[in-house]
Amino acid sequence: MALQLTDTTAPATAAPRRVPGGWTWLVRAPFILYAPAALFLAVFFLVPLGLVVWTSISEPELGLGNYAEFFASTYDLGVLARTFRTALIVTLVSLVFAYPVAYVAARKGGTIGAFLLGVVALSFWTSFLVRTYAWMVIMGARGPVVGLLVALGVEPAPQLLFTTFAATFAMAHMLVPFMVLALYAVMRRIDETHMRAAASLGARPWRAFATVYLPQSLPGVLNGATLVFITCLGFYVTPTLIGSPQDKMIAGRIGQEMEQLLEFGAASATSMILLAAALALFALYDRFFGIERMWR
Amino acid sequence: MAREAMSLSRPTRRHVVSAVAAGALAMPFVRGARAAEVLYVNTWGGPWEEAARAILFNPFTEATGIEIRTIAPVSFAKLAAQVRTNVYEFDVTTLGVAELGRANQANLIDKYDESKIAPSSLWPGAVTLNGVSSHAFANIIAWRKDKLADGPQTWADFWDTRKYPGPRSLQNYPARVLAFALMADGVEPAKLFPYDLDRAFKSLDRIKKDVRIWWSQSPQSQQLLRDGEVSLIGMWNTSAQVMIDQKLPIALTFNQAVIDVAAWVVARGTPRAKNAWRFIEFAVAPERLAQFALRNNYGPMNPASFKGLSADVVSRMPTSPENLPKAAILDAEKLAPQLAAMAKRFEQWLSS
């Protein structure tokens, strides 16, 4: 360890650097530096997670009964499948809304960019619950959308609230900020001269965008999509309050197992399955794109 | 001001030091004494807690010196978690009939015996499944008068979408909804329990597509009817009455109401069980319970509570002599063995 340290950090001519005042142990054992963080993670994340795993295999009796029951139940599998399908749709919808915003914010910059990002951040800072209730008002039977449709002569007045459409739309709205910020982080670093070079070589704007800009922005799309997809897997309040009764997602199922059925073991098993599914996605992402790129 | 006050009676350094020392020495005792005399009560929050605070909690503290702190909202899962972890956030809570049955099956609540509350302070039938009956609320049919001139009078009417068109809502709560479904199918209120599950779900199939939303919180049920999202709804008489009192175009009927009873229970294993039972005895005393029920449009379960209430007030209570014969009361003991199967089947039915 110490040898490596001298090799890489000290100038070749200097003698091995001496740490003054008896702090050499810090250099020899750098893990002491990250011990507090590791301890924090262990106490507040690993131990509770271990307890959930333990609950899932020990209640009501020791064994994998809860997992077997989950995978034997077409109902539970259906909820899981619906959760993934909803998350996929929400990801696509939020991408469609977020891409233009991030694009304009990144390329225009200045006041317009700051304004756009400010609006996105405002939404980002408002709680999910508040935004859910706002959507209930907007899509309600006496809300502005239905009012407008009725004024335009749509008969009979459509029902927006408590539909799959409403839930999907509202969830996409809540996750657009994540997508915009992920896209913006990548787009901001795309060199403007590339687009000008493409134009000077005769590419029309659309062609330049498709062959030069879009491919360079794809890492942002992937980051944002992964982030949005995995966040969406755990949505609870929005589908419950705005969606149709058939829209139950897996977090709602976990809540029901805890609150109404008092099946803590089954609820823990369902949570672990959700976690495993999310981890599997991360693993796939890592396999093809490299996880460290997500934070760069 | 402050300077003048100081110069008037200048405390010597010794005074200050000894006062601080005395305070510091006394601290652990003061805090210890206070901690022993606190009771944690799980409440529904909002107007419910305001009423409980004024009528039950504060007078209890005055009478006994035991401070009451509240935790909201009522959470059945938390009750279960407390007993598992031995960490008690609350000592006392109220449970409906179905939860009371489940709580007994899961061994979550303290057993009642006559040493806990003397029978002389209660009335015959006051204790069911280790819970002390407090107040009744009715699951009734309410509707918007601007959408339906004469509203549905029975659950069969509620199920009749041709005669009473419009979107509907029911509570996401099988123990109550299955009773509606059976009555809609012609079962008499007196013969509901235990439920014929197959018949109930067949009946539910007929109404499913017209139930736009299955509400879960009482403010949600109010919002649905107030905003006209639905034209008719199965909801609690207590929250419907609030809107009628606000002169909204809403009406309700106590016909075929399904009455649920809230019972006070003590969390099993809590170190404050003794004071918890003391509080329950205090809370169901006739006059106090009458006042509490009055504030919330509940029906008091203590028969002595009806003395001194005006006829007009009593007519709005689900357990009044006029309303009770039209209703069905959820039977905790007969429902208890069905609850788990019922909950699972309902859940799957709902999302299929």
pLDDT tens digits, residue range A127-161? 888 999 899 989 988 889 888 988 898 877 788 88
Contact of A168 with A86, CB cutoff 8 Å: yes
CATH code for the domain in which residue A104 is found: 1.10.3720.10
DSSP state of A246: G
Predicted confidence (pLDDT) at residue A247 exceeds the cutoff of 80: yes
pTM over 0.80: no
Residue of A nearest to B343 (CA): A261
**% chain B with pLDDT above 90:** 68
In a domain, A38, yes or no: no
Interface of A with B (CB under 8 A): 75, 78-79, 136, 140-142, 159, 161-162, 240-241, 244-248, 256, 258-262, 264
- pLDDT for B2 equals 41
Contact A162 B213 (CB under 8 A): yes
> Structure tokens of B113?
């015996």
- pLDDT for A9 equals 44
Task: Sort out which chain A residues have CB atoms less than 8 A from B348's CB and list them.
Answer: 75
Rounded CA-CA distance A229/A226 in Å is: 5
In a domain, A26, yes or no: no
Give the domain extent around A180.
75-262
> Structure tokens of B248?
């909204």
- pLDDT for B31 equals 45
- pLDDT for B243 equals 95
Query: Smallest CA–CA separation between A137 and chain B, in Å?
Result: 9
Q: ∠ at Cα A286 (A280, A287), nearest 5°?
A: 90
- pLDDT for A182 equals 94
- The mean pLDDT of A282-292, rounded to a whole number, is 79
Q: Does domain B137-259+322-350 have CATH number 3.90.25.10?
A: no
Of the listed ranges A20-24, A263-267, B143-147, B188-192, the least confidently predicted one is: A20-24
Contact of B92 with B40, CB cutoff 8 Å: yes
With CA atoms as reference, report the closest residue to A187 among A285, A110, A109, A112.
A109
Determine the 3-state secondary structure of B74 from DSSP. Answer: coil
Q: In this structure, how many other beta carbons lie within 10 angstroms of the beta carbon of residue B175?
A: 25
- pLDDT for A291 equals 64
Of the listed ranges A91-105, A160-174, A278-292, B109-123, the least confidently predicted one is: A278-292
- pLDDT for A19 equals 58
Q: In this structure, how many other beta carbons lie within 10 angstroms of the beta carbon of residue B156?
A: 15
- pLDDT for A14 equals 47
- Interacting residues of A167 by C-beta distance below 8 A, sequence separation 6+: A86, A238, A239, A242, A243, A244, A247
Predicted confidence (pLDDT) at residue A283 exceeds the cutoff of 50: yes
Predicted confidence (pLDDT) at residue B54 exceeds the cutoff of 70: yes
Q: What is the DSSP track for B262-302? A: EEEEEBTT-TTHHHHHHHHHHHTSHHHHHHHHHHHTPEESS
> Structure tokens of A203?
């590419």
Residue A32's pLDDT band, with cuts at 50, 70 and 90, is confident
Most confident range (mean pLDDT) of A57-66, A250-259, B180-189 is B180-189
* pLDDT, tens digit (0-9, with 9 covering 90-100), for B197-215: 999 999 999 999 999 999 9
- The mean pLDDT of A172-200, rounded to a whole number, is 93
- pLDDT for B154 equals 96
- Strands, E assignment, B20-63: 38-42
With CA atoms as reference, report the closest residue to B50 among B317, B297, B318, B292.
B292
* pLDDT, tens digit (0-9, with 9 covering 90-100), for B247-300: 999 999 999 999 999 999 999 999 999 999 999 999 999 999 999 999 988 999
Task: Sort out which chain B residues have CB atoms less than 8 A from A136's CB and list them.
Answer: 223
Chain A / chain B CB contacts < 8 angstroms = 55
With CA atoms as reference, report the closest residue to A86 among A177, A172, A183, A182.
A172
**% chain B with pLDDT above 70:** 90
- The mean pLDDT of A265-275, rounded to a whole number, is 95
- The mean pLDDT of A76-94, rounded to a whole number, is 94
Contact B77 A259 (CB under 8 A): yes
- The mean pLDDT of B163-184, rounded to a whole number, is 95
> Structure tokens of A70?
């989950």
* pLDDT, tens digit (0-9, with 9 covering 90-100), for B238-254: 999 999 999 999 999 99
Determine the 3-state secondary structure of B319 from DSSP. Answer: coil
Residue of A nearest to B227 (CA): A142
Rounded CA-CA distance B13/B11 in Å is: 6
B137-259+322-350 has the same fold as B33-135+262-313:
yes
Contact B227 A246 (CB under 8 A): no
Rounded CA-CA distance B126/B302 in Å is: 8
Find the helix or strand (DSSP H, E) in which B237 lies: helix B237-245
Q: Where are the domains of chain B?
A: 2-32, 33-135+262-313, 137-259+322-350
Contact A141 B216 (CB under 8 A): no
- The mean pLDDT of A247-271, rounded to a whole number, is 89
Q: Positive or negative, the Cα torsion across B40, B43, B45, B48?
A: negative
SS3 for A39-101 is HHHHHHHHHHHHHHHHHHHHCCCCCCHHHHHHHHCHHHHHHHHHHHHHHHHHHHHHHHHHHHH
B340 touching A (Cβ < 8 Å): yes
- Interacting residues of A284 by C-beta distance below 8 A, sequence separation 6+: none
- The mean pLDDT of A108-121, rounded to a whole number, is 90
Mean pLDDT of chain A: 86
Residue A6's pLDDT band, with cuts at 50, 70 and 90, is very low
Rounded CA-CA distance A5/A12 in Å is: 12
With CA atoms as reference, report the closest residue to A231 among A188, A289, A159, A182.
A182
Mean pLDDT of chain B: 88
Residue B22's pLDDT band, with cuts at 50, 70 and 90, is low
Residue of B nearest to A143 (CA): B227
Q: Does domain B33-135+262-313 have CATH number 3.10.180.10?
A: no
- Interacting residues of B67 by C-beta distance below 8 A, sequence separation 6+: B34, B37, B38, B39, B61
Contact B77 A262 (CB under 8 A): yes
Which conformational region is residue B281 in: left (phi greater than 0), alpha (psi within -120 to 50 degrees), or beta?
alpha
- The mean pLDDT of B145-166, rounded to a whole number, is 94
**Number of domains observed in the structure of chain A:** 1
Contact of A219 with A289, CB cutoff 8 Å: yes
Rounded CA-CA distance A195/B63 in Å is: 80
Find the helix or strand (DSSP H, E) in which A20 lies: none
In a domain, A24, yes or no: no
- pLDDT for B312 equals 86
Rounded CA-CA distance A115/A81 in Å is: 39
Q: In this structure, how many other beta carbons lie within 10 angstroms of the beta carbon of residue A61?
A: 9
Contact of B273 with B173, CB cutoff 8 Å: no
- Interacting residues of B98 by C-beta distance below 8 A, sequence separation 6+: B173, B175, B176, B260, B330, B332, B335, B339
Task: Sort out which chain A residues have CB atoms less than 8 A from B341's CB and list them.
Answer: none
End-to-end Cα distance, chain B: 74
- pLDDT for B4 equals 39
Contact of A242 with A161, CB cutoff 8 Å: yes
Give the C-alpha distances (Å, rounded to integers) separating A222 from A22, A82, A91, A281: 48, 22, 11, 12
Q: ∠ at Cα B242 (B237, B244), nearest 5°?
A: 90
- pLDDT for A212 equals 92
Predicted confidence (pLDDT) at residue A59 exceeds the cutoff of 50: yes
Rounded CA-CA distance A233/A252 in Å is: 11
- Looking at per-residue pLDDT, the higher value among A24 and B7 belongs to A24
Q: What is the DSSP track for B199-228? A: HHHHHHHHHGGGEEEEE-SHHHHHHHHHTT
Task: Sort out which chain B residues have CB atoms less than 8 A from A241's CB and list them.
Answer: 220
Determine the 3-state secondary structure of B169 from DSSP. Answer: strand
With CA atoms as reference, report the closest residue to A252 among B222, B214, B176.
B214
> Beta B67-71 vs B211-215: how paired, if at all?
unpaired
- pLDDT for B15 equals 57
- Interacting residues of B188 by C-beta distance below 8 A, sequence separation 6+: none
Contact of B260 with B176, CB cutoff 8 Å: yes
Task: Sort out which chain A residues have CB atoms less than 8 A from B102's CB and list them.
Answer: 262
> Structure tokens of B134?
């407090």
* Whether ipTM exceeds 0.90: no
Residues comprising chain B, all counted:
352
In a domain, A60, yes or no: no
Of the listed ranges A98-107, A264-273, B51-60, B311-320, the least confidently predicted one is: B311-320
- pLDDT for B28 equals 46
